[in-house]
Amino acid sequence: MHALFQNGGFRRLWVSQVVLALGDACLRMGLLEIFLRCQLDREVETAKMFFALALPGLLLGPFAVVHVDRWQRRSLMMASDAVRMLLLGAMVWWLWQATGQDGTPASLGWVSLLIFLIGVIVTFYLPARYALMPNLVAADDLIRANTLLTTSLAVAAVGGMPLGGWLAVRFGPLWAVAANALAYAVSVGLIGSIRMQPHATRDRDKNVAPTTALRDGLRYLGRHPTALPLVLVAGAFAFLAGILIVTIVGYAEKTLELGTLGLGWLGGAAGVGAGLGVVLLGRGQRWTRSIWLPCTQLVVAGAVLGLLSLTTEPGVAVWLLMVVGAVGATAMIPIDAKLQEQVADEWRGAVFAARGTLTSATMIVAFWLKFGTDVLRTTPPPTVLWWCGAGAVVVAGLTFLVLRRRTERAGRPSG
């Protein structure tokens, strides 16, 4: 790990993601406090917020598949952070103007629109960030590099959620939102200071029709022996995460009877588990490179969610959420490392954009089930957690079968 921090480019990227994770967590807690002050159902409103954030990934994902690899990734990330900083600044200004004497805004329509626009930027930002990693570190260090990058998720839960909850309750939700705008400004400077050689771009000077480029990208993904199954299992993790993001809010409030600060500390417990999981995976043992690791993680997550559905004690929930945090923080690390290592540089952004489209689609379904139907809206949170646990185990079994068949067909070792 120490050797990676000697890499100035990776170090700046990692720090930028830590800062952004803190800021994003503060935004989330600020919005939760606004929902509480407006006497809205925080579980439903959280689902709507993340639905608006994920929808652009589904609508614009094919466009990202075509174009992400035509641009320099560092420049794309800088521009994305700068635009998101402006959007968050506009959100702060609008909330300040719209807030009445009772401390609540008259409407949240503009907030939803701005979150949707942030989602548009994320559709291009995330594939560029994942695809940039092999341009900064050696292939043998990808597991460790992704592990360190995922540490930002742990920092978001450990520091960002309690900090955001404290800012929102003590000084007002606008301060929590403003903290996110500041984080984007810091990230622009950090990414801009990375020094690297221009990487390979695809069809930059060729007149290739977008439909042809999209077809070629999907064909490459479908023919790759391991990329498609890994993208599919990433979608399964995204669906599970989408359900949990909103269900945990209701579980904390209705089952454990906790408020905003209590929810923040539950997030902190998950973050502690995430940190422990990151440390364990970051040791780089041979099993961390196994292609079967995501299936094992799904089984563990399913078992723990089943246990979580059976408890009403905050103390027990804290320990179980630590395990959930450990799995959640490390779930994508082996998937990302395999894709970064095995996918050609000129197609890497397209593959990650395709993965983003699928994960957006699954999360949209998860959020819509929460606020658009009665399937999850009227179902008690413990029951939803039980369904998620059982579903995770089933998906793990199906993924194992698909991966084994494709790896055997390609004549590749299973480890």
- Predicted confidence at residue 190, as pLDDT, reads 94
Q: Chain centroid to CA 101: how far?
A: 36
Q: What average pLDDT does range 94-116 have in this prediction?
A: 76
Tens of pLDDT along 259-316? 767 777 787 788 788 777 767 766 656 666 676 777 788 888 889 898 988 888 888 8
C-alpha–C-alpha distance, residues 254 and 243, integer Å: 16
C-alpha–C-alpha distance, residues 400 and 398, integer Å: 5
- Predicted confidence at residue 89, as pLDDT, reads 92
Pick from 303, 295, 294: nearest CA to 323: 303
C-alpha–C-alpha distance, residues 161 and 29, integer Å: 6
Length of the chain equals 415
The CATH number of domain 8-194+209-410 is 1.10.510.10? no
* Secondary structure string (H, E, C) spanning 48-112: HHHHHHHHHHHHHHHHHHHHHHHCCHHHHHHHHHHHHHHHHHHHHHHHHHHECCCCCECCCHHHH
Is the pLDDT at 6 greater than 70, yes or no? yes
DSSP classification of residue 137 = S
C-alpha–C-alpha distance, residues 342 and 414, integer Å: 14
C-alpha–C-alpha distance, residues 390 and 364, integer Å: 20
Asked if residues 97 and 35 have their Cβ atoms less than 8 Å apart, the reply is: no
Q: For residue 233, with 0-12 CB atoms within 10 Å meaning exposed, 13-18 middle and 19 or more buried, which class applies?
A: buried
Cα–Cα distances in angstroms (integers) from residue 329 to residues 40, 99, 128, 283, 348, in the given order: 30, 36, 20, 15, 22
- Written as six digits, the tokens of 83 are 């635009």
- Predicted confidence at residue 414, as pLDDT, reads 43
Crossing angle of helices 173-192 and 161-170, in 10° steps, is 140
Tens of pLDDT along 347-370? 788 788 888 888 888 888 877 877
- Predicted confidence at residue 415, as pLDDT, reads 45
- Predicted confidence at residue 179, as pLDDT, reads 92
C-alpha–C-alpha distance, residues 174 and 103, integer Å: 11
Which spans in 282-380 are helix H? 293-308, 314-330, 332-342, 345-371, 374-377
Break the chain down into helix, strand, coil percent, rounded to 5: 85, 0, 15
Asked if residues 235 and 298 have their Cβ atoms less than 8 Å apart, the reply is: no
Q: Whole-model pTM above 0.85? A: no
DSSP classification of residue 197 = P
- pLDDT above 90 covers a percentage of the chain that reads 12
Tens of pLDDT along 32-87? 888 888 878 777 788 788 888 888 888 888 888 877 877 888 899 999 999 999 99
Average confidence score pLDDT of the chain:
80
- 194-223 b/e (C-beta count within 10 Å ≥ 16 → b): beeeebebbeeeeeeeeeebbebbbebbee
Q: Is the dihedral of CA 87, 131, 337, 142 positive or negative?
A: negative
